[in-house]
Amino acid sequence: MADVHLPKGMRDILPQQMILRQRVISTIQQVFLRYGFAPLETPAMERIETLTGKYGDEGDKLIFRVLKRGEGGQQGEVDQALRYDLTVPLARVIAMNPQLPMPFKRSQVQPVWRADRPQKGRFREFYQCDVDTVGAPVGLADAECIAVVHDCLLALGFTDFTIRLNHRRWLAALALAVNAAEREGELIVAIDKLDKIGRDGVSRELLGRGFTQGQIDRVWELLDGAPLAGSEQALAELDQVEALALAMGVDRQRLLRDRTLARGLDYYTGPVFETVLTDGGLGSVSGGGRYDGLIGMFCGREIPAVGVSLGLERLIVLMEERGMLGGSSSATRVWVTVFSDETLPASLAAVSAFRQAGVPAEISLAGGKLGKQLKAADSRGVPFAVVIGPDEAAAGTVKLKDLRSGEEQVLSLSLAIDQLGAAS
């Protein structure tokens, strides 16, 4: 038998993990729906031309390419690739569907693929949870992106988070003010590392990139709050977005202006935001911003857009670490045992009745001694078992056993259904 394994960076999500994961995704999707973000799915494969040139040279190298197959395709020919994020596919959808009413609000929860070097906890396939609004100017749509993240995190049970807010044009004004307008990208990339490498690290990086000590000193002055000429409109937009977000119920304590916030992606053009946990270690659990240029790359006309992405995989890891993923890891509420061939019909009737009533129920498929059956149920995390022996079968009752407390009661099937239905 051959050695059986998965490709590098791939993983299975086994049932115990999937049940918790589905709860997290469902909570997020409920909040997305409350905000009126309508669900969209795009195919795993896009044409290569659609993807390349959007994620920078480094990103392009990480795109998984798929061999052309089927009629007309030659072995080795490549014309499609796996999606790398959900934003570029959205831009393509907008270009291909001029009938969509604008502003267009969509949510998308799907896996993406990146040929990154696999690391602990990082995979080459992972889910993104995005909401974006296309076709709305700066203002309400940006505030909604902040508010929806705020509400998602609360709904998941997080309380210790801060949403940081900045404006890309403020950073552009910063670059201009230190006579480095043409090197804005480099400046932003360096500042973006502040959390990871600290002030000294950023200063060293800027020196290494040929910025003068005078320029660097001025950068810190401005980041520390010195007035910055030419940033007035950006700041006014931030004021507006912040006020709207607060009016939407975002907690003032959780919203923080941060002049050092840059967000790595090339395509942001306006307000940018990210969410960090007070005690969540390095890195953000959500990030986004306004990108008024990207959609136009596909449409031939400028269409404004703003969006935000929740870091699902990171959130799940944090929730596991913190013990926030409560609830049973088994979806099955009751395990119906099989005492003998003679009582099998009664057990079948019971399991069917539970299912009809919407109570997730299993019946012992493997048979064996009663004790073994109860142990199988318990070890899977099923909270209740039903035993129907000859006495119960004759009396038309069932024995309902709480597998945690060991408590047993003999009652009618319909009462047992009521009891388990109510407790779920």
The answer to whether the CB of 270 falls within 8 A of the CB of 290 is: yes
The smaller minimum CB distance to a copy of itself, of residues 234 and 306, is found at 306
In sequence order, what are the residues at sequence separation of 6 or more whose Cβ sits closer than 8 angstroms to the Cβ of residue 360?
A: 331, 332, 333, 334, 354
Q: Indicate the residue among 136 and 163 with the shorter CB distance to a copy of itself.
A: 136
User: Alpha helix locations (H) across 228-311?
Assistant: 232-247, 296-299
Using the minimum distance from each CB to a copy of itself, give the nearer residue, 63 or 265. 63
DSSP state of 98: T
Closer by beta carbon to a copy of itself, 56 or else 135: 135
Q: How far is the CB of 237 from a copy of itself (least distance, A)?
A: 15
Q: Which distant-in-sequence residues (6+ apart) come within 8 Å of 327 by Cβ?
A: 20, 23
- 51-59: list long-range contacts, CB under 8 Å, 24+ apart: 51/81, 51/83, 51/84, 51/88, 54/88, 54/267, 54/294, 54/297, 55/84, 55/85, 55/88, 56/266, 59/84
Q: Which residue stretches of 322-360 are H helix? A: 344-356
- Please enumerate in sequence order all residues whose Cβ is within 8 A of that of 171, keeping only pairs 6 or more positions apart, or say none: 184, 187, 188, 191, 262
Report in angstroms how near the CB of residue 403 gets to a copy of itself at its nearest.
15
Phi, psi at residue 113, to the nearest 5°?
Answer: -130, 130
Nearer to a copy of itself, 82 or 191 (CB): 82
CB of 159 to a copy of itself, least distance (A): 16
- CB-nearer residue toward a copy of itself: 123 or 186: 123
H-helix or E-strand containing 112? strand 104-113
C-beta of 38 vs 317, nearer to a copy of itself: 38
Asked if 228 and 222 count as a contact pair (C-beta separation under 8 A), the reply is yes
Shortest approach of a copy of itself to residue 300 CB, angstroms? 4
Radius of gyration of the chain (CA): 28
CB 392 to a copy of itself: min, Å: 17
The minimum distance between CB 255 and a copy of itself, in angstroms, equals 15
CB of 2 to a copy of itself, least distance (A): 6
- Least gap, CB of 85 to a copy of itself (angstroms): 15
Q: Which is nearer to a copy of itself, 73 or 201 (CB)?
A: 73
Residue 53 vs 201, nearer CB to a copy of itself: 53
Edge to edge, the sheet with strand 305-310 lists 38-39, 104-113, 125-134, 305-310, 286-290, 271-277, 161-167, 255-257
To the nearest 10 degrees (0 to 180), the angle between helices 213-223 and 168-177 is 140
Is 36 or 198 the residue whose CB approaches a copy of itself more closely?
36
d(CA 70, CA 255): 52
The nearest distance, CB 14 to a copy of itself, in angstroms, is: 7
Q: How far is the CB of 217 from a copy of itself (least distance, A)?
A: 40
Which residue, 285, 276, 170, is CA-closest to 226?
170
- Find out whether 128 and 95 touch, Cβ atoms under 8 Å: no
Contact 364, 338 (CB under 8 A): yes
Which of 33, 395 has the CB closer to a copy of itself?
33
Minimum CB–partner distance for residue 185 and a copy of itself (Å): 24
- Single-letter amino acid, residue 297: M
Residue type, 144: E
